[in-house]
Amino acid sequence: MKTNRMTEKDFQEHLSKATPSKPFLFFNRVNCIYDGSKIIWRGCPPENVDKSNLDLNALQSHPDFTIDFMKGYEDRILEDVDPFSLRKINWRLLADVRYVIQDGIILKGIDGASFRSLSKSPSEIFFKDKKAVYVEKFGKLKKIDNADPETFKKIGFSYAKDKNHFFVKMSNFLVYPKTIRSMYAVFCMMIL
C-alpha cells in the first residue's frame, strides 16, 4: 500500500514497528490493523450465531469466537491477506491482490486485483471485477447474472446498463428490462 502521504519505505517501517499494544491502523473509518504478526479486522458483526445457545450472562458463550456483548462485535484474523497491496474500496470493503474482504470476511470467487467500485461514493451499490458485476444487497455483495463486466456502466444511483440490458435496483432486487419500452414501464411503476 502506497499513499500520497506515505512512501512504501515508510509503510514498511510502520509495519515493522507494530505490536499488539501499539498496532498499525491501515485506514480511517475501517478498523483493520496489523499487530506485528497478523492483520485483524476489529468490530465485525457476529455471523452464524445460534441465538438459542447463547448465554447472555457469559462473555464467551460460543466456542468459535468471542463476542463483546456490550459492543456486539467480534475481531477476525485475515489469513493470507497481503498488507502491501491492501486497499480500501469503502468502509465495509477492502481488497488486496488476491481477495476482496467485506466486514472481515474474505469473499470467495471475486478477483481482488481487478475489483473496484463504480464510483467514489461511500454508498455505492455497484462493483465489478474482470469476470463479473456485483450489487450490494442487504449489506452483502451478490453477483449480477447476465451482466457483462466489460460494458457495464452506472447511469444513476440504482440504475446501470451494459450492451444487452438495463439494470434497476428496486426494493432490494434487480429488474432486467431488455428494451427502452420495458425500461419506460419500470420508471412508470416507480412513479405510481
**What is the C-alpha to C-alpha distance for residues 160 and 183, in angstroms, rounded to an integer?**
11
Q: What is the pLDDT along the chain (192 residues), one digit of tens a residue?
A: 445 567 888 888 989 999 999 999 988 778 888 998 899 888 776 664 555 555 555 544 444 445 555 455 778 899 999 998 999 998 889 999 999 999 888 999 999 999 999 988 888 889 999 999 998 877 788 999 889 999 999 988 888 888 888 888 776 556 666 666 566 665 655 554
User: What pLDDT is attached to residue 62?
Assistant: 45
User: What pLDDT is attached to residue 131?
Assistant: 95
- The pairing of beta strand 39-44 with beta strand 30-34: antiparallel
Q: Residue 107: what residue type?
A: L
CA-wise closest residue to 147 among 164, 130, 159: 164
User: What pLDDT is attached to residue 81?
Assistant: 93
Domain boundaries, the chain: 1-113, 116-192
Write down the pTM of the prediction. 0.73
User: What pLDDT is attached to residue 54?
Assistant: 54
State in Å, rounded, how far the first CA of the chain is from the last one.
48
**What is the C-alpha to C-alpha distance for residues 164 and 161, in angstroms, rounded to an integer?**
8
Instruction: Classify 189 as helix, strand or coil.
Output: helix
